[in-house]
């Protein structure tokens, strides 16, 4: 896979750390847990979207764009990172924020990522729940083009076959790190939502014959539609790269038992996972993605799903800024 064929901007020092979680492993009694620290991608407090945006902004600049339009939930990590990177390259950013669930919690509506969006000069517009938000972003982009703007529209989560290249690259980076230290990886676990992270990992690992499965822990959809969403993006990403051999449908696996009442709605398991990771390893998870993914991993370990001698790499997608939008939840959970 020759990724240098595609436009890219470099946004953070790579590779991100690969660390063993000694204390968490001991507390849970195995398997051996490592973490790939994609919360350390530097820009705007970091997170997995920075990898995707290297390729998306690269393409936007190649097309002469000066205005980025994107979308996400109120406490969107993706919008925060997109807004910051747009400013870094002198671009305007318009973000459509969706009220995905009803709340009048002031912290959720105005703190955390929303505060940072405003500091980055993002033009925020709000939308009610239930709309096709990518279609709304495309519509807003068309309106701005009609006004003479040169617009590049980025889908939610940066998840298309361009953005997924970031996690094709990450898969290559991770396997090189593992090879250098003699670490045999049995499984990668990460959050799966808009699909780009998991799809990119699957393509990158399959394309290099790594023989390492990826388990996505869902944060929004039920299992069947989530797996289908990821698989379709996997196929599109492989096609963009010119990978001729088909990727098996069975390579895409999602466990969506830890979503709870819905996207962004906190769960008891997420609260426990955030506190456990903070107390045991001094690492902050986020309440929407990495927190629920870790909650799933912890529960599956307790259920004996994995062998004690397995080595699991948890890909940390970042998002700690979102914790400030959930202050009320963590106060109540004390």
Q: Angle CA(83)–CA(85)–CA(90) in degrees, nearest 5?
A: 95
Maximum distance among all Cα pairs of the chain, rounded to whole angstroms: 60
CA dihedral 107, 108, 113, 117 (to 10 degrees): -90
DSSP string, 48-115: THHHHHHHHHHHHHHTT--EEEEEEETT-HHHHHHHHHHHHTT-EEEEEEE--S----HHHHHSTHHH
* Active site (catalytic) residues: 76
Positive or negative: CA dihedral 105, 107, 113, 115: positive
Reference 17, options 33, 37, 34, 32; nearest CA is 37
SS3 37: strand
Which DSSP state fits 31? S
Q: Angle CA(277)–CA(221)–CA(86) in degrees, nearest 5?
A: 70
Q: Which residues contact 155 (CB under 8 A, 6 or more apart)?
A: 70, 71, 134, 137, 163, 194
Neighbouring C-beta atoms of residue 135, cutoff 10 Å: 10
């Amino acid at each position: 896979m020759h990724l240098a064929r595609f436009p890219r901007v470099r946004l953070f020092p790579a590779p991100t750390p690969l660390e063993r979680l000694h204390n968490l492993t001991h507390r849970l009694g195995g398997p051996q847990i490592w973490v790939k620290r994609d919360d350390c991608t530097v820009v705007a407090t970091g997170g997995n979207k920075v990898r995707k945006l290297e390729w998306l902004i690269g393409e936007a600049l190649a097309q002469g764009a000066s205005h980025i339009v994107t979308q996400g939930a109120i406490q969107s990590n993706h919008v925060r990172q997109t807004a910051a990177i747009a400013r870094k390259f002198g671009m305007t950013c318009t973000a459509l924020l969706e009220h995905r669930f009803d709340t009048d919690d002031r912290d959720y509506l105005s703190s955390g990522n929303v505060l940072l969006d405003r500091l980055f000069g993002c033009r925020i517009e709000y939308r009610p729940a239930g709309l096709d938000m990518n279609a709304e972003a495309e519509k807003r982009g068309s309106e701005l083009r009609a006004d003479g703007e040169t617009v590049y529209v980025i889908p939610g989560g940066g998840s298309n076959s361009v953005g997924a290249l970031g996690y094709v690259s990450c898969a290559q980076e991770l396997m090189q790190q593992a090879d250098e230290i003699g670490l045999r990886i049995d499984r990668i676990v990460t959050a799966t939502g808009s699909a780009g992270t998991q799809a990119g990992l699957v393509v990158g690992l399959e394309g290099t014959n790594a023989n390492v499965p990826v388990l996505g822990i869902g944060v929004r959809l039920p299992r069947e539609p989530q797996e289908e969403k990821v698989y379709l993006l996997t196929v599109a990403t492989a096609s963009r790269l010119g990978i001729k051999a088909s990727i098996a449908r069975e390579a895409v696996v999602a466990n969506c038992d830890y979503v709870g009442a819905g996207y962004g709605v906190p769960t008891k398991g997420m609260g426990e996972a955030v506190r456990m990771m903070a107390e045991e390893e001094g690492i902050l998870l986020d309440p929407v993605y990495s927190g629920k993914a870790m909650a799933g991993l912890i529960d599956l370990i307790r259920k004996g799903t994995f062998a004690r001698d397995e080595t699991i790499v948890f890909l940390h997608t970042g998002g700690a800024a979102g914790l400030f939008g959930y202050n009320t939840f963590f106060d109540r959970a004390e």
